Amino acid sequence: MKTFISFRSAGMPFFSRTIFLQSRTKLIVPQHVFFSRAMNAESRINGSFSLRLVPPTLLAAEKEEAKAVLTLFLKKQGLSNAVAARSINKSDAFIDHLVSRLHSIHKSRYLVGRELTTLEIRDALIPYLETLLEEYGLILVDVVENFPEPPAKEKIEENIQKQPVIENSVTSVSPTIRTAESRKLKALARISDVSPTGKLPSHIVYLVELGMEIEAIREVIRRFPAFAYYSLEGKIKPVVEFLLDLGVPKTDIPTILTKRPQLCGISLTENLIPTMAFLEDLGVDKKQWAKVIYRFPPLLTYSRQKLKATVDFLYEMGLSADNVSKVITRCPNIISYSVEDKLRPTADYFRSLDVDVASLLHRSPQTFGLSIEGNLKPVTEFFLEKGYSLGDVATMISRYGALYTFSLPDNLMPKWEFFLTMDYPTSELVKFPQYFGYSLESRIKPRYEIMMKSGVQLLLNQMLSLSGINFQKLLEKKMQKKVK
């Protein structure tokens, strides 16, 4: 039987593994599962997506973001800044593995030319790190530092013997760990506890009736054990009914609770309703609440101070009250971005290109979730290398805010190469940068082939932006004029 060791809920610092491991004669580590999966991720991503396809600048930026996530995770487990930094410096192979997982999990995003935001990187990696913590417990640091080779048990024990003895005794530490683990196991057990009548607990039955699978409920409790103890009538049901009253479809409730089970632990009268009232005062359309919450359930769990900080920044950038509400409605996850660490530096970067920041925020707020070093600068440099001026680049981004969200290797580069084969001046892309938003295989190439066969020339935007019927009508009109 495999033993899982967890010390997150107990706040157990990593240095206590010294005492704990010394107190145990056996520690079962299912290394083959982790390392076989890891090696597969390193060598091949879903059979086709390789790190070699990612440009060096983007790869370097993603590695830095992965390091930041891992550092924060280790510090939350009790490591000091210095110890966490030393561990990161020894973990290059594991960092590469984390980046590989990003590309595997979000392969479709890369293939359609969408790089990941910091929030998306964090959301992809933290659950994985939590899984490893549950699997490896107190030797997680050794696993990370020795990746992809399993840490030798003898080596670990040798290192432990060299570490200084902590004053806390085994008897004072071990029960704490066991208590924390026991609480988690008890929380999971509530899913399968059967009452004397032979039925599942009422709160589990209610969640299943909502459409949540038992395994999905177990996963929620693994991540957030307190969810197992929420009262059906006092917490879960009132929040569900509250969401339904807002117009959230019943079929969306399981997804929302899976993404943010903490919603059920928040007071309706003291938190959720006042937060909604605050957002409604900003002009957030009540009719859009269902979509907003489904897109980003954590929105309702942020403090009003956090909401106000983001809103104040949007006003500072020059957005009107109406546009602020539209930004939050269309892109509610912008609230999760740090104003000083993410939003303001990004705004400063676009100002350096002479871009209207307020307009860009209004039309493409998701752009502000991109990495400056990993996404924005490489795209700017790409166009400058192709002969465009900074003014041209500013015009392009001003006309098409989503331009920077596309992948260089999978979108911009191949479409640029095909553009060079077409009989258009490069200035056409300044006039119509939306070219990069159309599918190369299903739109650009077929339309261009049809146009060439017709023997007429259309403007780039006419060739791509018109509907199929209007495109054919325009071609026929041009052909008739040519005959006359």
Local mean pLDDT, 10-residue blocks, the chain (484 residues): 35 34 35 41 38 60 84 78 81 87 70 62 82 70 78 45 39 40 62 61 85 86 80 90 91 91 86 86 81 88 87 94 89 90 94 94 92 93 96 95 91 95 94 95 94 92 93 90 72
Q: Is residue 272 part of a domain?
A: no
73 and 135 together in one domain:
yes
Residue 28 buriedness (CB in 10 A; 0-12 / 13-18 / 19+): exposed
Token reading at 469: 């019927």
Residues 6+ apart with CB under 8 A from 320: none
Domain-embedded: residue 19: yes
DSSP 166: P
At residue 302, the pLDDT reads: 84
- Establish if 283 belongs to a structural domain: no
Distance from C-alpha of 345 to C-alpha of 481, rounded to nearest angstrom: 53
Among 265, 280, 298, the domain boundary falls at: 265
Same domain, 156 and 216: no
Tell whether 146 and 210 lie within a shared domain: no
Question: For residue 190, what pLDDT is reported?
Answer: 64
251 alpha-carbon distance from chain centroid: 23
With contact defined as beta carbons under 8 Å apart, do 135 and 30 qualify? yes
Measured CA to CA in angstroms, residue 34 lies from 7, 126, 150, 255 at distances of: 20, 16, 9, 27
Structural domain includes residue 106? yes
Q: Kindly report the CA angle at 336 between 330 and 341, in degrees rounded to 5?
A: 120
CB 327 within 8 A of CB 283: no
Tell me the one-letter amino acid at 291: K
165 plus 204 within the same structural domain: no
- Position 155 scores a pLDDT of 45
Closest CA to 273 of 243, 252, 295, 296: 243
Instruction: Quote the pLDDT of residue 75.
Output: 79
- Residue 320, both tokens: 């009107």
In a domain, 336, yes or no: no
Q: Label residues 365-388 b or e (16+ Cβ within 10 Å = b).
A: bbbbbbbbebbbebbbebbeeeeb
- Tell which of 235, 265, 295 closes a domain: 265
CA-CA-CA-CA torsion for 481, 438, 434, 382, nearest 10 degrees? -120
- The predicted pLDDT at position 462 comes to 93
The Cβ of residue 82 has, within 10 Å, a number of other Cβ atoms equal to 8
The whole domain housing 87 covers 14-187
At which of 265, 288, 309 does a domain end?
265
Residue 247 Rama label (left phi>0; alpha psi -120 to 50; beta):
left
Q: Which pTM value belongs to this model?
A: 0.59
- Number of domains forming the structure of the chain: 3
- Shared-domain flag, residues 167 and 21: yes
The answer on 109 and 132 residing in a single domain is yes
Tokens standing for residue 199: 């039925």
Query: What's the confidence (pLDDT) of residue 24?
Result: 35
Whole-number pLDDT of residue 167: 38
164 and 32 fall within a common domain = yes
Same domain for 228 and 171: no
Asked if residue 279 belongs to a domain, the reply is: no
d(CA 317, CA 312): 9
Q: Where in 103-143 does DSSP place strands (E)?
A: none
- The per-residue pLDDT for range 150-189, each reduced to its tens digit, is 555 444 444 434 444 433 333 333 343 444 455 566 666 6
Q: Residue 361: inside a domain, yes or no?
A: no
What does the pLDDT read at residue 226?
81
Are residues 157 and 224 located together in one domain of the fold?
A: no
Considering the domain architecture, whether residues 159 and 240 belong to the same structural domain is answered as no
Do 74 and 124 belong to one domain? yes
Are 117 and 225 contained in the same domain? no
Q: Give a yes or no: residue 347 inside a domain.
A: no
